[in-house]
Every structure is written in structure tokens, then in C-alpha cells.
Structure 1
Amino acid sequence: MNIKHFYDDALAQGSFAIESGGEVALVDPSRDIQQYIDFAHDHNAKIIAVFETHPHADFISSHLELHNKFDAKIYVNEKVGVSYDFSPLGHGEEVKIGGVTFRALFTPGHSPDHNSYLLLDENGEQKAVFTGDSLFVGDVGRPDLREGAGNIQVSKKELAGMMYDTVNDVFADLSDDTVVYPAHGPGSLCGKNMSSDLSSTIAKEKENNWAFQIKEKDKFVDAFLEGQSFIPKYFPNSVEVNRKGAASLEEAVKNAEIKEGFEIPSSALIIDTRVKEEFKKGHIKGAINIQNKEADKFETWLGSIVGPDEEYYLIAENKEELEFAIYRAAKIGYENNLVAGVINPKGDVVTDPLVNVEDFKKNPEAYTIIDIRNKSEVADGKFFESATNIPLPELREKADDIDTEKPIIVHCAGGYRSAAGFSIVKRLLPEAKVYDLSDAVNDFK
């Protein structure tokens, strides 16, 4: 038996391939299937099964493509209410893959239709449990993402109660040395307190995970609901896309229109993916700067700033970088509302003045300071006492609330998000003086 853990740092998302006897099963595969094809080829094996824990909110799964290309069976809890051919698995039901066995565990709490999958080795011993978004390392999957989304409508308080039962009646009964493989790690918005470790054991989670420590259900529910982060605009849409099944990633990227020297309509929503330094030297008026370097969380912020029903354009420095941006947009299902990708766009080009950091240090009271960090970050302390907090995902809706009588300074925690926030404020308040504090925010921490 071979287990391979694939991890997408940008989305903090884990997926898994398990090979036994020349057969491969995948758990929660991301939209890019080439990595799984390579794994199967390296082990002279065939992909025959996909186990989906639930309809994911934060990424698009490739389960339907794998079914169409390899005739792989899709296993999922029937409560999901899917639109494709699948094999339902309820609590305790089993599937044989080569010499190993997958046993479904019904583990609601993050969603009302969530399965985890317990892997039994060739001797029937508990080897690992693939917990999806139910049990993380140090945390459990947040209960508020499925209000108003999915096949079953359940309140977050009801889901929190379900998670208490899942932790105490399902996971607590597993063998202590069973390896825990969750679908997410630190940085994911599907939890709030994840460890930096990407895997664990049941024994370690019993000892260290807060969810095992609170024995009273009411107190567990209260602690669980408190302090959850924002919900990106794209999350509910991804749930529905995953319930229906998505087209192949290759098809999504190939079908995206690419233009050069095209004049984008002035009223259009434009996302410029270049680094902030190049953006400020000259960009199409009204463009929003979401940087797309490999280590950036481009997908998260694209899907937090742009709604899934909003048409938008992408701008990049060259074709290679544009195709990379389209690829990343497709990972969250945003190829469908992309009008076109554009290189060297025509139009009204503007430059952005740089902030005079020394003047700001001496006269902070002369500026309107906008802190675009998340509310949970601001709760740990402001960098500037007079700052107004408008989190980046809310900025397009609340920019009109900003005081424009003074020059405006936009800041985040480290400089990446403020490039987007600054460009949003510039777009919506064109008559105001707006500056990006950028990396200089580190001087004020």
C-alpha cells in the first residue's frame, strides 16, 4: 500500500492518492488531475475510485472529470444530492481497493452531508482516516459555510451540535495510532485554529485539539461559533459547482479567450495581476490589483473581492503569466465569469503616487487610515489607534463610508492585501487622494 499526500499551498488544500494491488483511490482531488495521473503511472496502477468527503466550498474538485476519463467510481454520502452518477456510501459501509478497505464514517458538523473515510490495511487494522473538513490538526471544520448553500439547509448552531457528536461519538472511538489526514492546513478559511502540521494521529488530537477538551455540548457549541473568519464570496458557488461536477481544468483554461492590445470597456471590472510595483508605474484606470506571484493567495482574494456572478477581465504582463492567472481562477470555478484575459490593454493609463512614509510617521493624524485586515486580526490590536477597520472583502461595498477630507492611507498586515485595497478605494473614490502603505506597515508594528 502506498499513500501520497498532495498539498496546494495557495489554497491550503490537501488531497490523497492511495495505491494497493495496482488500483488507485483518490480522496478529495483538486481540479488539476495531472498529479494523480503521474502517481498512477509511477505505480503502474489505474485510478478506479474517487472518495468525496462533501461538496467543497473553497476549491473545485475533479471527481467528475476523473469519472469521465477513467471510469472511476465516485463515492459520496447520498445526502449531498448530486447531479452525476455516483455510488452512495453511508456510515459503516465499505469499499475494497486492491488489498485495502475504505469504511465510510458519517461525520457531519462542517456540513450536514459529510463523510470521512477510514482506511483499513490488508490485515483489517486501522491505518488512517481521511477527515475532509471535519477534523483538522488542532481544530475542526467551521460550521457556518453551509447556511443557505447545498442540498440540505441547516443552521450553523445545529451543525455545531452535530460536530460535537462527531468528535465524541466517531473520532474518539478510533484507534489512537490511526493517522489523521485532513483536507486543509494552516491558512485555510475552513477552520480558525489549525496547526502547522499537515497530519496527526487520533491520540495527538485527543491530547491537543480543543474540540476534544470541551465535554459539555453547550459550551462546545458556543466556543465553536465564536471568532470565525469571513466567508469569501465564491464559497457558496463552489458548493453548487461541486454538487453538479465541473468540466476539466484543461478545457476551462483552453476555452478562455485571450486578447492582446484590446481596449477593455471603461465600466468593466478589471483585475490586474501584476506585482504592485509595476501596477503603480502604470495601469488601466479603475483596475484592481490582485497580485499573482506563485506564493500569493491569488485564488482566495480573487474569490473574496469578485462575486461568482460578476463578469471580469484579467490583465497580465505576458501570455505565460496570463495563462497562469486563468489556471488559478479556474481552480475556484471562476473561468465561467471571465470575459477575457488581456495583454497590453489599450485605454486610459494612470500612475499612482507613492506614500511619503516619513510625513505619515510625523503626522498620522493628517490622514484617514483604513485598516483592511480581517476583524479577527484587528481584535488582537490595531497598528494605528485612529484607523477605521473595513476588511478587504467588504471594501467594495463600504468604500463610500470612508472620510475623504484627508488623504487616505490603506494598510493590511504585511503589504500584499493593501495593494488590492488601495486600488479598490482609488477605483471607487477617484477624486480622493489615496496611498498604499504597502510593506512600510512593518515599520509600525
Structure 2
Amino acid sequence: MKIEQIYTGCLAQGAYYIESNGEALIIDPLRETQPYIDRLTKDGVTLKYIFETHFHADFVSGHLDLSQKTNAPIVYGPTAQPEFEAIIAEDNQIFEIGNIKIKVLHTPGHTLESTTYLLIDENGKESAIFSGDTLFLGDVGRPDLAQKAASMTQEELAGMLYDSLYNKILPLADDITVYPAHGAGSACGKNMMKETVDTLGNQKKMNYALNQPSKEAFIEAVTDGLLPPPAYFGMNVMMNKKGYESFEKVLSQGMTVLTVADFENVAEQSGALILDTRANGDFAKGFIPQSINIGINGDFAPWVGAMIVDVNQPILLVTDVGMEEETVTRLSRVGFDNVLGHLKGGFSSWIDAEKEIDTVHRITASEFASQIEGKEVMVVDVRKESEYAAEHVEDAYSKPLAYINDWINDIDPKQPFYLHCAGGYRSMIAASILQARGYRNFIEIEGGFKAIAETQIPKTDFVCQSKVLK
């Protein structure tokens, strides 16, 4: 038996490939399926099942394409109602793959169909659980995402999650390995560990949610401090439940090469959003007017989802040369399939054509320090609330990037301000959105708070973020 965790950092997502005696199963596959096909061919094994732990909200699974290519059936837990052919398993049902078995444990609470898969090895020993979004390392799945579909409150779903964890997961042996669907950085939980594999015994000791004195205490603990989910989550759920365009077709369209003239024409005719995925430093020096910058080398896909929201939004890409396919692939992972093409030759071709460009007024942290010395200025910090609470520039305003659509209209276009995040990635996203909407009254700070912290600019006392989160 072989178990491989296929972890995708930009989504903080874990898919699983398990092989035994000529047969394999895959749990929660990513959108692009060719790597799985290649692995099956290399190992000379047949894919017997594709297991889905639930209808994912934060990414589009590759279950449909993978099933079509391999003829392997898709398996969901009890109560799932996909709009395509699938096996809807019963609680405690056993599936055999080679010399191993998978036992279905219906564990609702994150969603109603949420299911944990218990692996029984070739010796008949219960050896691992694939817990989806039911149990994370250091946390549990948020119980607020399925409220509307379930016609239940988050407290009612949290109570259901308690029953699932305390009645079905906690009684399992301490030496069982826990393989969750997500790790730190995912919006599906609030306090996940950076590690991606652990023992159930260790989780029983240190996971706050598994150490509550009562059901009431559990409900209060897991619902406390939940931030609103990204707006694109519901759209991804629908794609996973109803179906979607094949990845190959999405990739083919996104790889359409557009000359500068074609790019302009398509932009004008389609109303497409121009997404520039270059590094924030390069973007600041010059970009196509009205472009939005979300760098590919960062938490790209989640920020695309949070900022653009509508998965049907037409998109035109400006990327570093050679990064076009990677960008289209990452967009497809969160359901943004309507990429109309990319600018041939990248931004340099726009420069060569002597087209109009825009820039962001960016200064270093030391320049920021010298400019504000002895003055009263407005500083906008777009980091998360927990980062701001841990330490920030004195008198700075907390305006998290995730909520920019809520606070942007409160900005006085005549009031100058300074803008920063932790390192420059998020503040450049904010800067591009601000300028696209007509705001020119700010200066963005290169290197963000990390660089600011090295200056003499007055800051609040540091507070450990783990304490802030409690």
C-alpha cells in the first residue's frame, strides 16, 4: 500500500493518491487531472474510485474530468445530491481497493454531506482517516458555510459537527494518521497548523475543538471569531455539485494569444477585467491602465476569488512570459474559467507598442519614515485584523483587503494617505483596485510592515498572534 499526499500550497489543499495491489483511489483531486493520469500510468494501476469528502467551496475539484477519463465512479457520503452520476454511500459502507478497505464515516457539520474516509490496511488495521474539512490539524471545519443550503444556523451545524467528532472520530485509536483536506492559509478554518499530517492522538491532546468540556462550549469555541467566507465560495460549491466545463477546453481558451491590437479590441468588446499577475514591484513601475494586480507568486487563487468574486467574469491576462499556462490553471482551480486570452509577449509588448501606461506611487519604508516625521498623517493597513492587532503603526486604520469593497467608498478622494500590508503583495492588490476606481490620493509602501518595523516609526507593542486569535 502506498499513500501520497499531493499538497498544493497556493490553495493550502491536500489531495490523496492511494494504491494497493494494482488498484488506486484518489480523494479530493485538483481540477487539472493529467498529473493523476500520468501517475496511474507510471504505476500501472487502475483507478477504482474517486472519493469526494464534500462539495468543496474553496476550489473546483477534478472529479468529473477524472471520472470521464478513467471511468472510475465518483463517491460521495450520505445525503449528497450531485447533479451527475455518482455513488452515494451509506454510513459505515465498505469499499475495497486492492488489499485495503475504505470505510465511510458520515461526519456532517461543516456541510451536511461531509464524510470522513477511514482506511483499513491490508492487515485489517484501521490506520488513517481522510477527514476532509471535518477535522483539520489544530482546528475543525467552519460550520457557517452550509447554513443557507441546510436551512440551519451555524450553531446548529456546529452542534452537528460536535456529534460527528466526539461520537465518530474521537473514539478511534490514537495512532491513526490524520490526513486533512486543508492546512494553514485556507479560509475553511481559522486556526490551522502549518503541518499537513499528524496522529489523531496528538490532535486529541492539542486541538482546542477536541478538548471542550461540553457541546455548548464546543459550539461557542468553533463559532467564535469566524470571519465572513469569501464571496466566491458559493459559486464553487455549485460548480462542484452541478458540473463544469472540461479543464482542457478552459485551458485552450485561456491560452489564446492576443496581439496588442487584439487585446485592446477584446477588452473593449467584452468588458473583460485585465488581470496582471506580475510581481508587485514590476507592476508598480508600469501597467495597462485599469489593470488589477494579483501576483502569481503568492496566495494567488484565493485572492482572485476574494477580489473578483464572480467566476463568470471575463478575464484578460498579462503575465510574465512563460507563465500563461500556469496562470490559467490556477484560475481554473477556483472556477474562473472565462479567461479570453493573454497578451502576447507580456507587458513589454505593450511598452513596445507605445501604449498608455499607469504607475503606482510607491516609496520605501525609510522614505515613509522621513516623510511623516513630526506630522499627523493617515495610514491604512490592509493586513488581516489579527495581524493588525498583533502590532501596527500607531494610529493606523485597519482596513483589511478582504473587505475592500465595503470600505473603499468611505475613502475621501481628497484626503492623502499611506497604504501598506505585511510585505507589499496585498497592498499592491489594494492599490490597483483603488486606482482602477479613480483614487489617486495615496502612496503605497514597499516591503510593507516588515520593512516599516525596521524603522523608528512609532508602533504599538507586539502581541503574539496566537493570543490574538483566542
Structure 2 CA distance for partners of 1:77 and 1:420, relative to 1, 3 Å: same
> Counterpart of 2:363 in structure 1: which amino acid?
V
1:367 and 2:377 aligned: yes
Tell me if the contact between 1:64 and 1:247 (Cα under 8 Å) persists in the aligned partners. no
> Counterpart of 2:331 in structure 1: which amino acid?
A
Which residue does the alignment assign to 1:228?
226
Which residue does the alignment assign to 2:386?
376
Tell me if the contact between 1:229 and 1:374 (Cα under 8 Å) persists in the aligned partners. no
Which residue does the alignment assign to 2:74?
74
Counterparts of residues 174-323 of structure 1 (less than 5 Å): 174-256=172-254, 257-261=256-260, 262-263=263-264, 264-265=267-268, 268-293=272-297, 296-309=298-311, 311-318=313-320, 320-323=322-325
SS of the counterpart of 2:323? helix
Match of 1:417 among 410, 426, 449: 426
Tell me if the contact between 1:273 and 1:290 (Cα under 8 Å) persists in the aligned partners. yes
Which residue does the alignment assign to 1:434?
442
Count of residues in Structure 1 that have an aligned counterpart in Structure 2:
438
Q: Which runs of 5+ in 2 are unaligned?
A: 454-470
How far did residue 320 of structure 1 move?
A: 2.3
Structure 2 CA distance for partners of 1:341 and 1:156, relative to 1, 3 Å: farther
> Counterpart of 1:435 in structure 2: which amino acid?
I
**1:106-158 deviation line (CA, Å, top 9, x unaligned):** 1112111101100111232101111001011111111122233x5x3332111
How far did residue 372 of structure 1 move?
A: 1.1
Structure 2 CA distance for partners of 1:317 and 1:53, relative to 1, 3 Å: closer
SS of the counterpart of 2:74? strand
TM-score (norm 1): 0.93
TM-score (norm 2): 0.88
Q: Distance in 2 between matches of 1:265 and 1:411?
A: 32
**1:388-414 deviation line (CA, Å, top 9, x unaligned):** 222212213421201333322111122
Q: Distance in 1 between matches of 2:75 and 2:304?
A: 31
SS of the counterpart of 1:325? helix
Tell me if the contact between 1:366 and 1:406 (Cα under 8 Å) persists in the aligned partners. no
Which residue does the alignment assign to 2:33?
33
Which residue does the alignment assign to 2:360?
352
How far did residue 245 of structure 1 move?
A: 2.9
Tell me if the contact between 2:289 and 2:358 (Cα under 8 Å) persists in the aligned partners. yes
Which residue does the alignment assign to 2:397?
388
Which residue does the alignment assign to 1:9?
9
Tell me if the contact between 2:235 and 2:311 (Cα under 8 Å) persists in the aligned partners. no
Which residue does the alignment assign to 1:118?
118
Q: Which runs of 5+ in 1 are unaligned?
A: none
How far did residue 160 of structure 1 move?
A: 0.9
Structure 2 CA distance for partners of 1:440 and 1:239, relative to 1, 3 Å: closer
> Counterpart of 1:107 in structure 2: which amino acid?
T
How far did residue 429 of structure 1 move?
A: 3.2
**1:189-237 deviation line (CA, Å, top 9, x unaligned):** 1111111221111211111111111021111111111122342222111
Match of 2:328 among 323, 326, 329: 326
Which residue does the alignment assign to 1:107?
107
Q: Distance in 2 between matches of 1:211 and 1:356?
A: 43
Q: Distance in 2 between matches of 1:200 and 1:415?
A: 33
Structure 2 CA distance for partners of 1:390 and 1:147, relative to 1, 3 Å: farther
How far did residue 62 of structure 1 move?
A: 0.9
Structure 2 CA distance for partners of 1:65 and 1:310, relative to 1, 3 Å: closer
Q: Distance in 2 between matches of 1:429 and 1:387?
A: 23
